[in-house]
């Protein structure tokens, strides 16, 4: 089933995805309220990852949609710094998130972004993001918050502050399933998820504030957790939407930042991600880079070792989780429609 990107300028080049994009669904599908869900994607990622993040989520949504028609609407919030190229992309394909405030959606996905301030409340987009969180509580069936957006939502809703990590939580980590919640229907006892973050929300603090932890590990901490309410809020500290090569690109980006003197320490290899052959090649390059530290060395980065041998071991579970999310929202929508139908049906017509 194709997803629909709700933008009058589509179809557009779908970059590295195989999306089937159309501007409007067939009328026969619109007539059945069970056939379609409307999802908003609020993409807060910086320009360097704006389009790749967009494609990651759109591809995952398409793979998880199965027999549901999913209409995706792209939104941006004020305050996220943009280059001219980034602004042009936003202006062409995205709507201002404030347009959401006069409507309702079935679901919403809010991405993270790279932090710029030590305190999230000091970020330039903070007021726009908190306004969006408040709207989502009242006007969605369920909302997903990814990584930094999860940290921001927990801070805004319950005053829970994230903790800095001594080093970047980076790589693929195995998590235990702590619950039989419907989001994890069909999931094995242990699942893999990529992580890429410098901060974390701690399990004990979340639990004491009414959050339910669904997956986590001693090595990576909490991954998936929820908070029930008028809208079910779903939080990921990890990145199930990542493609196979995403961590590789982030690692190479961080190596470049080290070589340019933008960060003091050489980045650690991502956990449980590269083959041993690739690890050896990257360790040899690190020795040279730390000894010379010249930006020109980045041209000799051993790209030949990638992407062969890297598999998205987390993909099957990511698709399963999002499919369960869609199924929940479709069921909630059907219940709402049935209640409205029953309320509108004249009492005299009852057999």
pLDDT digits (tens, 9 = 90+) for 291-323: 999 999 999 998 765 656 688 999 999 999 999
pTM: 0.87
What phi, psi does 173 have (nearest 5°)? Answer: -125, 140
pLDDT tens figures, 23-38 = 223 333 333 444 589 9
Active site residue 295: no
Q: Where in the chain is the domain with CATH 3.40.50.880?
A: 3-243+312-343
Query: Which one of the listed residues 62, 241, 243, 250 is annotated catalytic?
Result: 241
Q: From CA 215, how far away is CA 179, in angstroms rounded?
A: 7
**147 is annotated as an active-site residue:** yes
Which of 54, 123, 147, 151 is the catalytic position?
147
Show the DSSP H helices in 260-314 as ranges.
276-292
How far from each other are the two terminal CA atoms of the chain, in whole angstroms?
Answer: 39
Nearest by Cα to 157 from 206, 218, 87, 213: 206
Cβ burial 283-322 (10 Å sphere, 16+ → b, else e): eebbeebeeeeeeebbeebeeebbeeebebbbbebbbbbb
Question: Is 241 assigned a catalytic role?
Answer: yes
DSSP strand pairing (232-236 vs 224-227): antiparallel
Least confident stretch, 98-102, 146-150, 184-188, 345-349: 345-349
Does position 151 have pLDDT exceeding 90, yes or no?
yes
More confident of the two residues 20 and 125: 125
Closest C-alpha among 68, 134, 151 to residue 97: 134
Percentage of the chain modeled with pLDDT above 70: 84
Which residue, 144, 214, 132, 146, is CA-closest to 180?
Answer: 214
| Sequence-separated (6 or more) residues with CB below 8 Å from residue 140 | 104, 105, 106, 107, 108, 231
pLDDT digits (tens, 9 = 90+) for 183-204: 999 999 999 999 999 999 999 9
| pLDDT score of 340 more than 90 | no
Whether 2 has a pLDDT exceeding 80, the answer reads no
Measured distance CA(105)–CA(29) in Å, rounded: 18
The catalytically annotated residue of 195, 239, 243, 250 is: 239
Q: Assess if CATH 3.40.50.880 describes domain 3-243+312-343.
A: yes
């Amino acid at each position: 089933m194709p997803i629909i990107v709700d933008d009058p300028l589509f179809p557009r080049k779908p970059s590295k995805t195989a999306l089937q994009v159309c501007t409007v669904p067939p009328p026969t599908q619109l007539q059945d309220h069970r056939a379609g869900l409307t999802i908003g994607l609020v993409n807060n990622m910086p320009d360097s990852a704006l389009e790749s993040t967009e494609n990651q989520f759109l591809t995952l949504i398409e793979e998880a949609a199965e027999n549901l028609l999913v209409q995706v609407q792209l939104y941006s919030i004020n305050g996220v710094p943009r280059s001219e190229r980034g602004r042009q992309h936003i202006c062409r394909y995205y709507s201002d998130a404030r347009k959401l405030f006069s409507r309702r959606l079935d679901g919403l996905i809010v991405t993270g972004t790279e932090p710029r301030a030590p305190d999230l409340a000091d970020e330039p987009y903070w007021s726009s993001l908190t306004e969006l969180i408040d709207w989502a509580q009242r006007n969605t069936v369920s909302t997903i918050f990814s990584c930094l957006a999860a940290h921001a939502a927990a801070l805004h809703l319950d005053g829970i502050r994230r903790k800095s990590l001594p080093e970047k939580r980076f790589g693929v980590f195995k998590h235990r399933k702590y619950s039989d919640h419907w989001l994890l229907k069909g999931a094995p006892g242990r699942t893999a998820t990529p992580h890429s973050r410098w901060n974390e929300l701690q399990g004990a603090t979340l639990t004491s504030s009414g959050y339910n932890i669904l997956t986590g590990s001693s090595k990576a901490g909490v991954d998936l957790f929820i908070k029930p309410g008028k809208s079910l809020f779903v939080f990921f500290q990890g990145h199930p939407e990542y493609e196979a090569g995403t961590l590789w690109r982030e690692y190479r980006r961080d190596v470049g930042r080290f070589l340019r003197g933008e960060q003091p320490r050489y980045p650690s290899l991502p956990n449980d991600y590269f083959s041993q052959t690739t690890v050896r090649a990257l360790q040899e390059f690190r020795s040279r880079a730390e000894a010379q530290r010249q930006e020109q060395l980045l041209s000799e980065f051993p790209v030949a070792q990638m992407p062969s041998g890297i598999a998205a071991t987390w993909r099957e579970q990511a698709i399963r989780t999002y499919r369960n999310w869609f199924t929940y929202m479709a069921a909630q929508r059907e219940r709402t429609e049935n209640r409205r139908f029953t309320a509108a049906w004249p009492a005299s017509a009852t057999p």
